[in-house]
Amino acid sequence: MRVVVTGAAGFIGSHVAEILAVEGHEVLAIDDLSGGFEENVPAVCRFEKRGVETPLDALFGSFRPEAVYHLAAYAAEGLSHHIPVFNYRNNVLATANVLAAAYRCGSRHFTFTSSIAAYGHPEGSEPFSEESACRPCDPYGIAKLACEQHIAGMHRHFGRPDYTIFRPHNVFGPRQNVSDPYRNVVAIFMRCARQRKPMPIFGDGTQTRSFSYIAAVARCIAAAPFTERARNRTFNLGGDESMSVYELARNVATVMGVPLEVQWLPARKEVAHAHCRHDFSRSVFAEAYAHHVGIVEGLGLMADYVRSRPIPPPTECPAPIEILDELPPFWADRLRYDRSR
């Protein structure tokens, strides 16, 4: 099958592209390299360096993908409060552009990676299920939910393409960008450990997440167009094991072989405890979940990867800060330095 993977030089996208290429599919990999690295793209894939907000009809029309995987996005949830216009352009407008191009070239399936951020704050102690109400509390979550609704609405109106929407959460593993200071706490902690710097923790570190190793996540996403029960459905995607941010820092220090050193920062506004149920995705993608790796084992695998290569230059904020109010001082100091360079 001919498939397009956007964000294919990024973390999750590169793993999905690799699985598809190994399975014998013809992969067109697209990425603007704003947060990913060309070395992540499997060598057998055709690579096009371009942003997904640019015109795509000529490219899609010549390649004629039967399925499109749209994973390109700047997924900095906390920072999205301060770059809302860029956030909506990068997520909503770009997704509408990719989906329209997929429709016009006759693609049969559209796979989209949304986010747990679409749910917002939990109302109780129960994990989110796919039936939970979506009340996103930040521009990133709002944008992802809008993308979901646009994809489903296009299918209702035109009858195609079929789609599968995933809401992954806190995914980590090899190829994750360790040099972005605004997102991916596991990667940030790994970089700090490698550089023998303290790991920054906002608040008291008791906030919890179900950190999810990449293996099963990427396999579920790759399998979507070939799984009948996944058509026109939405799935939570990730691990069930809970860990506090402080426990994460302690485990990262252990696997990286360094003493634990923490830089305690003022708390920022964020969801304290965010977790999902995965009964539905586990039942539909049972074969993919057979590759599940626990947090501690996954941290060890990622540590091996991080130690084996140089730390790349910092990946800075991709857009000017639009709203300075309540910008965490730790970020504000860095962004002030960036503007002065």
Per-position DSSP letters for 95-135, written without gaps between them: HHHHHHHHHHTT-SEEEEE--GGGTBS-SSSSPB-TTS--B
pLDDT of residue 48: 98
pLDDT exceeds cutoff 50 at 105: yes
Confirm whether pTM is higher than 0.85.
Answer: yes
Q: Spell out the domain ranges in the chain.
A: 2-242+268-307
pLDDT tens profile 146-173 = 999 999 999 999 999 999 999 999 999 9
CA distances from 210 to 196, 243, 296, 335 (A): 26, 6, 12, 29
Q: Which CATH superfamily is domain 2-242+268-307 in?
A: NAD(P)-binding Rossmann-like Domain (3.40.50.720)
What per-residue confidence (pLDDT) applies to 340? 45
pLDDT value at residue 336: 67
pLDDT tens-place string over residues 219-241:
999 999 999 999 999 999 999 99
Q: In the chain, at which residue ranges do the beta strands (DSSP E only) sit?
A: 2-6, 26-31, 46-49, 67-70, 109-113, 162-168, 171-172, 199-202, 208-209, 212-213, 233-237, 243-244, 262-265, 273-274
- Distance (Å, whole) CA 314 – CA 40: 17
Mean of per-residue pLDDT scores for the chain: 95
* Statement: residue 184 has pLDDT above 50: yes
- Per-residue model confidence (pLDDT) at position 153: 98
CA 254 centroid distance within chain: 25
41 with 29: CB under 8 angstroms?
yes
pLDDT for the residue 341: 42
Q: Which two tokens stand for residue 142?
A: 């709002």
